[in-house]
Structure 1
Amino acid sequence: MRITSVRERQIPLGADIRNAYVDFSTMTASIVAVESDVVRDGKPVTGYGFSSPGRYAQGEIIRERAVPRLLRAAREELLDPGTGELDPVRANAVMFQGEKPGGHGDRSVALGAVDVAMWDLAAKLREQSLAQLVADRFGGGSVSQSVWVYAAGGYYQPGAGPEALVEELTGYREAGFEHVKLKIGGASLAEDAERVAAVVESVGDGAYVAVDANGRFDLDTALAYGRMLEPFGLLWYEEAGDPLDYALNAELSRSYAGSLATGENLFSVQDSRNLLRYGEMRPDRDWLQMDPALSYGPTEFFRMVADAEERGWPRGRFVPHGGHQLNLALAAGLGLGGTECYPGVFKPVGGFIDSTPVSAGRVKVLDHHGIGIEEKADLWRHFEDL
Structure 2
Amino acid sequence: MRITSIREREIPLAAEIRNAYVDFSTMTASIVAVESDVIRDARPVTGYGFSSPGRYAQGEIIRNRAIPRLMRAEAKALLDPETGDLDPVRANAIMFEGEKPGGHGDRSVAIGAVDAAMWDLAAKLRGQSLAQLFADRFGNGAVADSVWVYAAGGYYQPGSGPDALVAEMTSYLGQGFEHVKMKIGGAPLTEDAERIAAVVEAVGDGARVAVDANGRFDLDTALAYGEMLTPFGLLWYEEAGDPLDYALNAELARTYSGSLATGENLFSVQDSRNLIRYAGMRPDRDWLQMDPALSYGPTEFIRMVADAESNGWRRDRFIPHGGHQLNLALAAGLGLGGTECYPGVFQPVGGFLDSTPVNGGRVKVLDHPGIGVEEKSNLWAHFRDL
Q: Shorter-chain TM-score category?
A: over 0.9
Structure 2 CA distance for aligned equivalents of residues 26 and 100 of structure 1: 30
Aligned to 2:157, the other structure's residue is in SS state coil
Give, in angstroms, the shift of residue 75 of structure 1: 1.3
Aligned to 2:156: 156
The 5 Å alignment of 1:114-129 reads 114-129=114-129
TM-score (norm 2): 1.00
Listed one character per residue, the Cα deviations across residues 19-61 of structure 1 (whole Å, up to 9, x for unaligned) are 0000000000000000000000000000000000000000000
Structure 2 CA distance for aligned equivalents of residues 111 and 279 of structure 1: 27
Aligned to 1:267: 267
Give, in angstroms, the shift of residue 140 of structure 1: 1.0
Give, in angstroms, the shift of residue 76 of structure 1: 1.6
Aligned to 1:107: 107
Aligned to 1:241: 241
Structure 1 residues not aligned, in runs of 5+: none
Structure 2 CA distance for aligned equivalents of residues 235 and 3 of structure 1: 45
Give, in angstroms, the shift of residue 203 of structure 1: 0.7
Aligned to 1:45, the other structure's residue is in SS state strand
Structure 1 CA distance for aligned equivalents of residues 97 and 139 of structure 2: 28
Aligned to 2:230: 230
The 5 Å alignment of 1:56-135 reads 56-135=56-135
Aligned to 1:197, the other structure's residue is in SS state helix
Listed one character per residue, the Cα deviations across residues 312-368 of structure 1 (whole Å, up to 9, x for unaligned) are 000010000000000001000000000000000000000001000000000000000
Aligned to 1:45: 45
Aligned to 1:147: 147
TM-score (norm 1): 1.00
Aligned to 1:305: 305
Aligned to 1:218: 218
Identity %: 83
Aligned to 1:384: 384
Aligned to 1:362: 362
Aligned to 1:205: 205
Q: Kindly report the root-mean-square deviation, in angstroms, between the aligned alpha carbons of the 2 structures.
A: 0.3
Aligned to 1:26, the other structure's residue is in SS state coil
Aligned to 2:151, the other structure's residue is in SS state strand
Structure 2 CA distance for aligned equivalents of residues 337 and 5 of structure 1: 36
Structure 2 CA distance for aligned equivalents of residues 221 and 202 of structure 1: 26
Return the letter of the residue paired with 1:54. G
Return the letter of the residue paired with 1:313. W
Aligned to 1:319, the other structure's residue is in SS state coil
Structure 2 CA distance for aligned equivalents of residues 213 and 304 of structure 1: 23
Give, in angstroms, the shift of residue 162 of structure 1: 0.5
Aligned to 1:4, the other structure's residue is in SS state strand
Aligned to 1:20: 20
Structure 1 CA distance for aligned equivalents of residues 77 and 329 of structure 2: 26
Give, in angstroms, the shift of residue 278 of structure 1: 0.1
Structure 1 CA distance for aligned equivalents of residues 2 and 169 of structure 2: 47
Return the letter of the residue paired with 1:197. A
Aligned to 2:116, the other structure's residue is in SS state helix
Aligned to 2:256: 256
